[in-house]
């Protein structure tokens, strides 16, 4: 029985709960005088619950199995790509980034057929551009 996954996640949530309660909540929530419920009350209660439940999982883990690490690594690759896409959009705008991002995504998935590639890289961003800016009169990111 492999209990690593639950021990790791349990410890994480315990640490998160403790950090929230002792450090983040006191520093990032204002105190007010008067009122019926202080802004920190609920976050503090939740943080304690989180810490206790996390500790419980770490001590008494189930045999939950993690997803295949290779798949998780691949997901990390896609997340990096999307992050780069958002960052690039903030500089150059959707119009220029979307086709490049679509091409990178489709290429990574393994798509090589020119028809599908052109549909995804040229047609789709163009359709979105037309619908959003021309039909709806809204701004693209």
Partner 1 sequence: MKLTTKLMALATSAVMALASPAFAEDWAPDGPLTIQIGFGAGGSTDTMGRVLAEVMKKNTGWNIVVENKPGGGGVAMFTGLSQRPVDNKTIGMGVSIPVLVQLVQRGDQLPFDTDSFDYLGTVAKAELALVASKDAPFDDLEGMIAYAKEQGSLPVATMAPPQVLMMNQTKSTTGADFNLVTADGGAEVMKLILGGQVMAGFGSGEHYPYLESGDMKVIAGANQSRLSYAPDVKTFIESGVNAYVDPIFFLAMRAGTDPAAIEAISSAIDEATKAPEFAKIVQNAVKGDPINMGTDGTKQMMVDGLANAKILFAK
Partner 2 sequence: MVEFSTILAGFGDAFSLYNLAFVLFGVVLGQFVGAVPGIGPIMAMAIAIPFTFGLDPLPAIAFLVGVNKGGLVGGAVPAVLMNTPGTPDAAATALDGYPLAKQGKPLKATKMALFSSITGDTFSDIVLITVSAPLAVLALKMGPIEVVALMIFAFSILAGLIGNSLTKGIIAAAFGLLAASVGQDPENFTPRLIFGYWDLFDGLALPSVAIGMLAISEILHRLSEAHGNMRPAIIAKDTGNPDDRRVTWAEYWSCRFTMLRGATIGTILGALPGIGSTAAAFMSYAMTKAGSKDPGSFGKGNIQGIAASESANSAVVGANLIPLLTLGIPGSVGAALIISAFMIHGMQPGPLLFENQGRLVYGLFGAMIMANFVNLWVGQLGLRLWVKVVSAPESIIFSSALLLCFVGVSMATSGLFGVAIMLIFAVIGYLMASFGYSLVIFIIAFFLGPRFEKSIAQSLALTDGDLTQVLKSPVALALLILSVVSVVWFLRKNVHGEDE
- Where do contacts with partner 1 occur on this chain (CB under 8 A)? 30, 34, 137-139
- Residue whose entry in the numeric block shows the structure tokens 């500089």: 91
Of the candidates 40, 44, 43, 18, the residue with the CA atom closest to the CA atom of residue 30:
40
Shortest Cβ distance from residue 131 to partner 2 (Å)?
9
Residues 55-94 vs partner 2: string with x where CB under 8 A?
Answer: -xx--x-x-x-xx---xx-xx--xx--xx-xx--xx---x
Shortest Cβ distance from residue 139 to partner 1 (Å)?
5
The yes or no reply on residue 28 touching partner 2 (CB under 8 A) is yes
> DSSP characters for 38-80?
-TTHHHHHHHHHHHHHHHHHHHS---PPPPPHHHHHHHHHHHH
Whether the Cβ atoms of residue 54 and residue 14 lie closer than 8 Å to each other = yes
User: Which of partner 1, partner 2, none interacts with 91 (beta carbon under 5 to 8 A by kind)?
Assistant: none
- Residue whose entry in the numeric block shows the structure tokens 């690594």: 73
Reduced to 3 states (helix: H, G, I; strand: E, B; else coil), residue 16 is helix
Whether the Cβ atoms of residue 120 and residue 102 lie closer than 8 Å to each other = yes
Q: Which residues bind partner 2 (CB under 8 A)?
A: 5-6, 8-9, 13, 17, 20, 24-25, 28-30, 32, 35-37, 39, 42-43, 46-47, 49-50, 53-54, 56-57, 60, 62, 64, 66-67, 71-72, 74-75, 78-79, 82-83, 85-86, 89-90, 94, 98, 101-102, 105-106, 108-111, 116, 119-120, 124-125, 128, 132, 136, 138, 140-141
């Amino acid at each position: 029985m492999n209990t690593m996954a639950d021990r790791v996640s349990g410890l994480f949530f315990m640490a998160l709960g403790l950090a929230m309660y002792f450090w983040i909540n006191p520093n990032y929530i204002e105190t007010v005088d008067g009122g019926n419920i202080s802004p920190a009350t609920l976050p503090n209660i939740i943080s304690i619950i989180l810490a206790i439940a996390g500790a419980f999982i770490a001590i008494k883990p189930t045999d939950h199995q993690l997803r295949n690490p290779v798949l998780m690594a691949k997901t990390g690759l896609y997340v990096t790509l999307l992050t780069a896409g958002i960052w690039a959009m903030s500089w150059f705008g959707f119009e220029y980034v979307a086709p490049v991002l679509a091409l990178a995504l489709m290429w990574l998935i393994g798509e090589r057929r020119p028809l599908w590639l052109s549909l995804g890289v040229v047609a789709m961003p163009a359709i979105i551009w037309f619908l959003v800016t021309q039909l709806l009169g809204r701004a693209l990111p």
